[in-house]
Structure 1
């Protein structure tokens, strides 16, 4: 005979159940051996009666013991058994349910161990909510990390959002709480109700690992099965890893999905993921971009924004549809040969009450000290990269987007804010590292771990740093002392180039070095040249608006800027609207001004970008030695008085090259001599002043003939025609 449980201990634990502060309610509730039989206990505070219905038959009345805890004893039973609970509420309302406290844990010891060590790279497969069959019963397993909580409950549509009905059990020292709830299905809304250890009101939190959310401003998590979508992009994934990313053409179109193109006839709403799939794909094919970069698609609370304050890291925003609709978009782009990059924000997160901040009543994901845990620029909270579980949450999230959504690249936002402890902080507002320095050693270690994990598990996927300082070796391998990123945004190039182009041409000679300075460090990193969203908001105006002069000159300057960028060493990124000369500054609440394409001048800019991308993809000299000194040579870096620049782009394949000449003054120059690498015929493969681009049509009649007259350090030269405010490309015929 088994020894009966101690009555006083049982009474004490029942009181803890009633007070919702029992860390292991399964120890009391559910079915347990007891003496010469078994005991079944259930906690249903508002019930008037409960019956146990064993799977072997019968109907056993339970006795109300205390405060909503009911109990039934079955003598002579040697083993536990499966059963249902028939619960009766006032008004003769009766519900029959499978008891969640009759199930063993759904998390194993190895899951808990690796999560605690911060080395569970597929953490999303165990945390959050998952639809499973457990002991032959369909339902949902829930797991959440809340190590200091006094108690945690799952609340949702299935229990009237009553935190008393589904209290979770704590899995030892891991700080993870777990519960299997039968019969919970796809589309069910839920949250975690967390009772802080220090007392005070319960916190109602979204699931940090939720795969789906309600449409904002609602904040509930939604049960979602990741396994239902059928991918058809196998060919794309197989070829993605071929060759070095640095030696490939990367022409990236940066998009905010909600404002790219809206459905005017339906209340001017944003397009859905499924509507975007054919429209965006066709547009990218038309304009020739190799990749699209999406501003953060992770769910975020504040709609009129870029989305850089993420509330739910594992869920695509519900504003544009279901998670599988986002998968459909990615799959469709892949089927048409277009890569997908998403912006990813591991540096900080918002303070919204439903999100990660003070998650279990303490500073769990963030530093407790505001000098470390608060980001003054954005009013956000900073991740505690020194905590194993936090690093694991983020690195698993990066791998999640790659594995579950087939993402081809992550552009990591605000890396500088992570690297420096004193970023945007005054003296006394930050805590030095152990050596007394300003470098954030924990963030550095995190970034290196992130990049090594992505590279090890997913060759061909790139990680790009938006990093605005002179931090060394951002895009060098970790094994060589670098941070391990594949590319770094060249923010200095963007700033200097836009400063030059914004000047009236009469003053450009005094800013000539803004155009040449970048070549002093162009090969210190693997750079991507951005003309990004940062430059078309907050009063900065559009790219078109930055250009000086009348409408014709603005368009000519913008065409020159784009052709200069496409010829310059570095991969390319252009924010939407720049490809046709968007007039107005970007707003989250409206489409781009697509009607501008009815204007021949703006249609011309659009046509130029398509041709830039076509030539760029077809000519390896423009990309395959982007990050090596052999890929670039100045011809005329110092012709400031006439606003002329000339250089050669060279391929790794000897002899293949492109000569780029820019005349950034409004004065045409005929018979202007430029050096060329060889004697012979050169084709004028691109001229931004061509009539079909909206220019004056001035040029070199399609080709030139060089002569054996040394010039600009080259063995040959030619007298060429340079149209006003133009860039011209020549290739050997």
Structure 2
């Protein structure tokens, strides 16, 4: 006699609402042998180890078999359409997660979370297949559905691993390339079909399924990875080219980009590429800033191994890779993270804390250890699995403040009555500390626009622990100044000097990013006043000022050759303006040549980067020449020669402009001039060495008298 299923167990299994299907399915010792029970909807016949199982209705088949014959049982399932499936019984396997993994999951401390959650192809108890695991603590039950079961998860209910909230099932015979999702029974009994939050590969949007992935890429960047930690990033040159991969050269995939992007960036001399968010996102118009697949590079451009090939190609060309990372919010798509198991799983349970007021998205619950683990491990994942050299964290300010973009009465103070989000602070500290500990040479960069104290201070000194912070104040002030007609700039001179008041309060990156050349803000050259010649001259002078100012620099694609239009993700940079047939091609090529030479001079001049975070690396020569629109300062390295940078933001040539210089350098030579004719300038240059003479100036005993070209920046160094 077959011991029958109870009506409750039968109903729960059929509804996908049972927490322990392995207790009912598979083989279990009974009087006379082993009871083998299988759930295979739509099957007409099932054999287990060549023994016929009796139909119990609703897709259940069972029999009591000799116990010795079921240990390594295989199922032969025949369907109404004549198809036959041979497979191992999924319910004969013990959990494929180790005790330590389960413990770390429960503690929210698994730093390689992607190896234990998601879909992982492996050989379990001698059988190849895929282990599926998902965190869904509020679910009544979870099933896995995919190509391998015709997207009907009834035959593959998962078991709960207890209080950690994780569900697990090893499915024999499933391998890389199979599509899948999780069929989750919510607390209210309804069902939701969800993509895997830990999927390492996804379908190409607008399709939304997850894909079982096993990486097969062989890296060739061992020399780069071994050397990247040799010099602290803040004492090394860093000149960043920001790229939106899908639109840099529209039509190129990861492999195509690997053919062209490293060569272009290397020719221009940038040290790093920063990719706008490469993680999977459903809406291309979000530019990647509304992420649904945090562990998968977007499938729009190829496979995960293809993305690795691109990173590898950049490294082999001597170029570092930074990527935008978005832990501040996520979209509400019903197949993704929002209300993942029917409850506020990844988002904060308080709607006032969960809803992001600006972007129609949800904010993560940073106080929940599993959510914090999901994000911390994700930062490590990109650095370890994809060899990324750093992450730029988007929208940090929106994470730090409970009242961010929220009016009075629409936010809840913290326990101290303040506006600080201490959960987010703790998360950022943990993320930064973990990345720096696990990933030697990697850097973290904060896009943080407020005066929060200690963004780049070490966590053990109470800081957030970032390596760098975007200097948004510098960007806003200097662009406001540059947009003014020169006749009005004297009254705004302080906008150019104010950054030095706080320049050493943090480790800064100077960003002219995508945000400054979209949504009506105009391209960089189009922000400048005057006619076309003056716009380009201002553009060149501004870049010369930017490259010589303390801090690393970042420039968005298209601005390196002064394209006149705003960036569009649909068309990308205006490469056609560089075509020799284009009437103004020489003008644009001149600006691009200047960027190339700025990077070359910058990298060869330790004074411009070695003491970026040390006040002894900078000294004003003249910060007060507002009436002349002139700024002059010195940069110093630890041992080498200083560099004198002078910017004349007036259209007037200033002959014999006296500037104080260090007394131990008799002659100075011009090493860069943004007004050089080769860059499209008027050709007012200092060709001969400048003799320093004992005429005191600007508090120094010696001085020189260079000619300052109009709307230009010049660099001089001792001969």
TM class by smaller structure: over 0.9
- Cα distance, 1:702–1:689 mapped onto 2, change above 3 Å: farther
| Structure 1 residue 10: Cα displacement | 4.7
Deviations 1:437-481 (A, max 9, x none): 000000000111111111111121000000000001100111111
Q: Which residue of 1 aligns with 2:676?
A: 690
Does residue 303 in structure 1 map to residue 274 in structure 2? Answer: no
Does residue 530 in structure 1 map to residue 511 in structure 2? Answer: yes
Which range moves more in the overlay, 8-17 or 372-381? Answer: 8-17
Does residue 432 in structure 1 map to residue 413 in structure 2? Answer: yes
| Structure 1 residue 9: Cα displacement | 6.6
Deviations 1:69-97 (A, max 9, x none): 1101114x357411222222224333222
| Structure 1 residue 706: Cα displacement | 1.2
**Residue correspondences, number:** 713
Q: Which residue of 2 aligns with 1:213?
A: 202
Tell me if the contact between 2:675 and 2:682 (Cα under 8 Å) persists in the aligned partners. yes
Aligned pairs for 1:255-274 (under 5 A) are 255-262=243-250, 270-274=251-255
Does residue 399 in structure 1 map to residue 395 in structure 2? Answer: no
Tell me if the contact between 1:10 and 1:28 (Cα under 8 Å) persists in the aligned partners. no
Instruction: Choose the corresponding residue for 1:720, options 696, 706, 710.
Output: 706
Which range moves more in the overlay, 16-25 or 125-134? Answer: 16-25
| Structure 1 residue 65: Cα displacement | 1.7
Deviations 1:573-626 (A, max 9, x none): 111111110111011101311122241111111011111000110110001111
Distance 2:22 2:179 in 1: 24
Question: What SS does the aligned partner of 1:722 have?
Answer: coil
Question: What SS does the aligned partner of 2:282 have?
Answer: coil
Question: What SS does the aligned partner of 1:153 have?
Answer: strand
- Cα distance, 1:631–1:144 mapped onto 2, change above 3 Å: same
Tell me if the contact between 1:32 and 1:80 (Cα under 8 Å) persists in the aligned partners. no
Q: Which residue of 1 aligns with 2:645?
A: 660
Instruction: Choose the corresponding residue for 2:217, options 229, 242, 256.
Output: 229
Instruction: Choose the corresponding residue for 1:62, options 53, 59, 78.
Output: 53
| Structure 1 residue 495: Cα displacement | 0.2
| Structure 1 residue 714: Cα displacement | 1.6
| Structure 1 residue 651: Cα displacement | 1.1
Question: What SS does the aligned partner of 2:624 have?
Answer: strand
| Structure 1 residue 239: Cα displacement | 0.6
| Structure 1 residue 402: Cα displacement | 0.6
Does residue 29 in structure 1 map to residue 29 in structure 2? Answer: no
Question: What SS does the aligned partner of 2:646 have?
Answer: strand
Question: What SS does the aligned partner of 2:698 have?
Answer: coil
Question: What SS does the aligned partner of 2:163 have?
Answer: helix
Alignment TM-score, normalising by the size of structure 2: 0.98
Aligned pairs for 1:501-650 (under 5 A) are 501-597=482-578, 598=580, 599-650=585-636
Distance 1:9 1:165 in 2: 16
Question: What SS does the aligned partner of 1:48 have?
Answer: strand
Instruction: Choose the corresponding residue for 2:123, options 133, 136, 139.
Output: 133
Instruction: Choose the corresponding residue for 1:319, options 300, 307, 320.
Output: 300
| Structure 1 residue 305: Cα displacement | 2.6
Deviations 1:187-239 (A, max 9, x none): 11111111101123x1111101100001101110011103x110111100111
Q: Which residue of 1 aligns with 2:227?
A: 239
RMSD: 1.3
Distance 2:463 2:701 in 1: 40
Q: Which residue of 2 aligns with 1:84?
A: 74
Question: What SS does the aligned partner of 2:346 have?
Answer: coil
Q: Which residue of 1 aligns with 2:173?
A: 183
Tell me if the contact between 2:32 and 2:64 (Cα under 8 Å) persists in the aligned partners. no
In structure 1, the gaps of 5 or more residues are 263-269
Q: Which residue of 2 aligns with 1:40?
A: 36
Question: What SS does the aligned partner of 1:573 have?
Answer: strand
| Structure 1 residue 304: Cα displacement | 1.9
Question: What SS does the aligned partner of 2:493 have?
Answer: helix
Alignment TM-score, normalising by the size of structure 1: 0.96
In structure 2, the gaps of 5 or more residues are none
